[in-house]
Amino acid sequence: MSGAVALFTDGADWHAARLERAFARRGVECRRVSLSTCGFAVGRTLTDLLLPGFGDSLPSGAFVRVIGQGSFEQVTLRLGVLHALDRLGVPVYNTARAIERCVDKSATSFLLARSGLPTPPSVAVQSADMARAVVENTPDCVLKPLFGAQGRGLRRLSTPDDVPESEAVAGVYYLQSFVPPRREGEWRDCRVFVVGGHAVAAMIRHGRSWITNVHQGARCEAMAPDGTAADLAVRAAAAVGADYAGVDLIADPGDGDRWLVLEVNSMPAWQGLQSVSKIDIADALAADFLGRIDAVSSREPR
C-alpha cells in the first residue's frame, strides 16, 4: 500500500490513538482529519476536494471514526465529502451510505425487518398527535432521538401525556416498543462488535437502570463472540452495509433462546468493550481496513 490513510476524527479521541498505533505497527502513515475542516473545491484542486493535510492528493483510504456534531447542513456536507471520496475510488470505512442508514434509527429498523431479523416493533412519525396515538395503543414505548447516541435523550413513555412537544425531538418521534427484562430489575443487554463480516468481541452490559449504555454507568462483562447473538450481529451489519459496527441486542423475554436486534452503530465506541476483551479491537479494525485498501489496489490497472 502506498500513501497515507485519513482518519476522520475530532479532538483527543482514545479510539483514534489506538487506531494510530495499530496503523504504525504495520508501517502505515495515518493523518488525523476533522470532517469539519473538509469541503469541496471544484475547479480549484486536482481532486475538487478540500482535505487538510493531503493537498492535491487523495488518501489511500479513509477510516471514519467520527462525523462530528453540527447542523443538518454541516453534517450533509461532511457526508457529501465521504460520498465523493468513494466516487473517486478511495476505500471509505464505513461508507457514507452505511453511516446514513445507521444514524437514522428508523431506516435501521426498516432494513433489519426487511432482512428478516428479529427487532422490536417501532414507529417513526412527524407530529405529536400521531405519536400520542401510537403511545395510546402501545403504552410502554421508548422515545429515542433519531440521531442520538450513547443513551442520551432516551425516554420511556407510558401515556399519551408523556409525549413531548415537537420542538424537543426536532420534529421526529422514533418510538420503539420497550423490551422488559426477564427478571424484574435485571437490566442487561449485549453489544457485539463486528469487523469485516466477523464478530470479534462481545460483552454483556449490566445497567443501573433500563438504559444500559456504558456512558450511562453500565458495568461490562465479557461474552464469547459466538452463537446466536454473534450470528444476528453479523447479519445486522450486513443489512445496513457496514464494514464494522457495534450491534446492540437484547434477550426476548418471551423466548429464552431468542435475541432481538435493538440498533446498529456505524461509528461505535469500544473503550468499555476493550476493557473486557482479549482481542485488540483497534488492531482487528486496522487489519481489515488495510486489507480492503490492498484489495482495491490489486484491482487497479497497472
What is the rounded CA–CA span in Å between residue 297 and residue 153?
43
Q: Which fold has domain 182-269?
A: D-amino Acid Aminotransferase; Chain A, domain 1 (3.30.470)
Length of the chain: 302
Paired strand residues for 296: none
Query: Taking 70 as the threshold, does the pLDDT of residue 256 lie above it?
Result: no
| pLDDT band at residue 213 using 50, 70 and 90 as cut-offs | confident
Dihedral pair phi/psi, residue 2, rounded to 5°? -115, 145
pLDDT for residue 36 is more than 90: yes
Per-residue CA distances from 170 to 92, 121, 128, 165, 288 (Å): 29, 22, 11, 9, 37
Mean pLDDT of the chain: 92
Cβ neighbours for 299, distance < 8 A, ≥ 6 positions apart: none
Does domain 5-93 fall into CATH 2.160.20.10?
no
Answer whether the bond into residue 213 is a cis peptide, omega within 30°: no
**Span 115-124, mean pLDDT?**
96
- Average pLDDT of the segment spanning 107-113: 97
- Could you give the CA distance from residue 284 to residue 279 in angstroms, rounded to a whole number? 8
Instruction: Work out whether the CA dihedral 169, 216, 251, 195 comes out positive or negative.
Output: positive
Residue 150: predicted pLDDT: 56
CATH for 122-177 is: 3.30.1490.20
pLDDT at 218: 85
- Start-to-end CA distance of the chain, whole Å, equals 14
What pLDDT, on a 0 to 100 scale, did the predictor assign at position 302?
Answer: 43
How much is the average pLDDT of 256-276? 93
Residue 190's DSSP bridge partners are: 204, 249
Answer whether residue 184 shows pLDDT above 80.
no
Q: State what percent of residues in the chain have pLDDT above 90.
A: 78
CA dist., res. 252 & res. 262, Å (int): 11
Q: How confident is the model at residue 222 (pLDDT cuts 50, 70, 90)?
A: very high
DSSP string over the chain: --SPEEEE--SS-HHHHHHHHHHHHTT--EEEE-GGG-EE-TTTSTTSEE-TTTTTS--S-EEES---S--HHHHHHHHHHHHHHHHTT--EES-HHHHHHHHSHHHHHHHHHHTT-----EEEESSHHHHHHHHHHSSSEEEE-TT--TTTT-EEE-SGGGPPPGGGGTT-EEEEE----SSTT--EEEEEEEETTEEEEEEEEE-SSS---GGGTPEEEEE-S-HHHHHHHHHHHHHHT-SEEEEEEEE-TT-TT-EEEEEEESS---HHHHTT-SS-HHHHHHHHHHHHHHHHHHHS--
Which DSSP string corresponds to 119-134?
Answer: ---EEEESSHHHHHHH
Instruction: Mean pLDDT check: name the lowest of 61-75, 78-92, 139-153, 252-266.
Output: 139-153
Domain span(s) for CATH 3.30.470.20 in the chain: 182-269
Residue 205: how many other CB atoms lie within 10 Å: 23
Is it the case that residue 82 has pLDDT exceeding 50?
yes
CATH 3.40.50.20-classified regions of the chain:
5-93
pLDDT at 265: 96
Query: What pLDDT, in 10s, does the model give residues 131-182?
Result: 999 999 988 999 988 776 655 678 999 999 999 999 999 999 999 999 988 7
Whether residue 8 is predicted with pLDDT greater than 90 in this model: the reply is yes
- How many other CB atoms sit within 10 Å of the CB of residue 19? 24
Residues of the chain within CATH 3.30.1490.20 domain(s) are: 122-177
